[in-house]
Amino acid sequence: MRLISCYVIKKTKAKKDGSCPIYIRVTLNQKRMELSTGIFISPNEWNEVAQKINPDVEGFQVYNNRLTKVTTDIFDIYNQLVSIGKPFDIGSIKRRYLGVNETPGILTIFDYYLNTIETNLGKGYAYQTLKHYRVSRTKLGEFINNQLSRKDCPVNEVNYDFLNRFDMYIKAEYGIHQNTAWNYHKHLRRVLNLAISLEHIKKNPYSKFKVKLEEAHRDFLTKDELFRLETKQIELERLATVRDVFVFACYTALAYSDIAKLNKSHLQQRNDGNLWIVINRTKTKSKCHIPLFSNAINILSKYADYPEALLKGRVLPVASNQRLNSYLKELANICSIKKNLTMHMARHTFATTVTLSNGVPIETVSKILGHRSLNVTQIYARVLETKISEDMNNLRQKLRLYAFNIRASIATTII
């Protein structure tokens, strides 16, 4: 492909004094562009054949040198693009000459990532994941607009300083916890990895900017609190239903999204003669096999003919997660539980109070929770003071028995 250029006088853009601007016209693959040189002359001062300003014009040499430089700069850009070996067009030359950055913005790439998630909902991505990424995208957009006064930022300009300023902005503006900020950074890091795959950047700036994840202190219900909630007489049907759904989650470790889709096909009689829940977790797609305690079975029986559940083909009448969490706050007050009850707390309660504190091995708990790694389960693995006390009392008894046997053995030897 050959680049052709020439200069033209734009008589249609003449000033009141009759002077006209000189434009350079560049053609590539039958596509052309025109750019102003910023030089104005009278049409009769221009030599069309020589493509120069006539020598009788004051300052003609300076003007002609400027025209030569414009031509040289454009052909230099053309040669650079050819040497890179990637496809380009006349627009690429124009953008480079005008200093317009061709690298896409970080928000543009973020939107590309969001579109990928949205397209693959139910095929490796959950709606909750899309929702979280949208929040991160909004926060990033607000940062770029408020702090950088731009609509977007070229991805190749996202560096250590950018990430550090973004970190300080979201913490100061929204008062968020370190681990919440870590999640925003996790999403941005993945978008930047996508930018590497798309060959927009060569290295992820997060290789230098590190974000620490603090140890999470996840709340749960104690045995006393769970019993109090489970046995409380509640007159309001809506609160009684929410209580039952929450207690069911405490004895099954199911997340809200899994309980909301639970139907009869997930209930199976297994080889041990007991009723189990067999379900693919919405979040991780891992298959969970959960044996049902009598507490959970009683709740299922209670709602076996419940109209709302039957209408939706579900085994429990489950409201929206937002509404459930709102009602759980009312339940906490009624049951004198001074904790922020949420549906996710039920999983922590199952892991800590129902299973681990009763001696169930962490490997078994991890399998029921549907975790792919034991490290994830250890977040839930709270060792309660009561469990420590119980274990130490057992050890004391063993040590006393050991000491008694030693003394008895010595006495027998002496006799």
Q: State how far the Cα of 66 lies from the Cα of 357, in Å rounded to an integer.
A: 82
Span 371-382, mean pLDDT? 70
Q: State how far the Cα of 180 lies from the Cα of 327, in Å rounded to an integer.
A: 24
Q: What percentage of the chain exceeds 70 in pLDDT?
A: 92
Asked if 153 contacts 106 with a C-beta cutoff of 8 angstroms, the reply is yes
Span 271-283, mean pLDDT? 86
Q: Which helix (H) or strand (E) holds 240?
A: helix 237-252
Q: For the packed helices 237-252 and 294-302, what is the interaxial angle rounded to 10 degrees?
A: 150
Span 76-83, mean pLDDT? 90
Quote the pLDDT of residue 216: 62
Span 170-175, mean pLDDT? 92
| pLDDT of 64 strictly over 70 | yes
Quote the pLDDT of residue 192: 96
Confidence of residue 70 (pLDDT cuts 50, 70, 90): very high
List the one residue out of 84, 133, 142, 76 whose CA is nearest residue 109.
133
User: Range with the lowest mean pLDDT among 44-58, 182-196, 272-286?
Assistant: 272-286
Strand order in the sheet with 275-280: 267-269, 275-280, 287-291
In b/e form, how buried is each residue of 287-314, taking b as 16+ CB within 10 angstroms? Answer: ebebebeeebeebbeebeeeeebeeeeb
Token pair listed for 150: 């731009």
List the one residue out of 268, 318, 314 whose CA is nearest residue 291.
268
Quote the pLDDT of residue 74: 94
Q: Report whether CATH 1.10.150 matches the domain 106-207.
A: yes
Tell me which residue has tokens 């003394």. Answer: 407
Quote the pLDDT of residue 51: 94
| pLDDT of 190 strictly over 90 | yes
User: What does the CA dihedral 168, 169, 171, 174 come to, rounded to 10 degrees?
Assistant: 170
User: What does the CA dihedral 93, 94, 95, 98 come to, rounded to 10 degrees?
Assistant: 120
Confidence of residue 135 (pLDDT cuts 50, 70, 90): very high
Token pair listed for 230: 């489970």
In sequence order, the 6+-apart residues with CB closer than 8 A to the CB of 121 are 127, 130
| pLDDT of 140 strictly over 80 | yes
Q: State how far the Cα of 288 lies from the Cα of 262, in Å rounded to an integer.
A: 13
CATH for 223-383, options being 1.20.58.100, 1.10.443.10, 3.30.930.10, 3.30.420.480: 1.10.443.10
Q: Is 122 left (phi over 0), alpha (psi -120 to 50) or beta?
A: left
Span 269-297, mean pLDDT? 86
Q: What is the CA radius of gyration of the chain?
A: 35
Quote the pLDDT of residue 47: 94
Tell me if the pTM is above 0.75: no
Quote the pLDDT of residue 412: 64
More confident position, 369 or 203:
203
Mean pLDDT of all residues belonging to the chain: 87
Q: State how far the Cα of 172 lies from the Cα of 146, in Å rounded to an integer.
A: 13
Long-range contacts of 32-41 (CB under 8 A, 24+ apart): 32/90, 33/90, 33/91, 33/93, 33/94, 34/8, 35/70, 35/94, 35/97, 35/98, 37/7, 37/66, 37/67, 37/70, 39/63, 39/66, 39/67, 40/15, 41/9
Gap between the terminal Cα atoms of the chain: 112
Token pair listed for 400: 């006393």
| pLDDT of 411 strictly over 80 | no
Is 263 strand, coil or helix? coil
User: Range with the lowest mean pLDDT among 97-111, 190-204, 279-293, 378-392?
Assistant: 378-392
Span 268-284, mean pLDDT? 85
List the one residue out of 9, 27, 6, 26 whose CA is nearest residue 18.
9
Report the largest interatomic distance among the alpha carbons of the chain, rounded to a whole angstrom: 136
Instruction: Indicate the domain borders of the chain.
Output: 3-98, 106-207, 223-383, 391-415
Confidence of residue 415 (pLDDT cuts 50, 70, 90): low
Quote the pLDDT of residue 87: 77
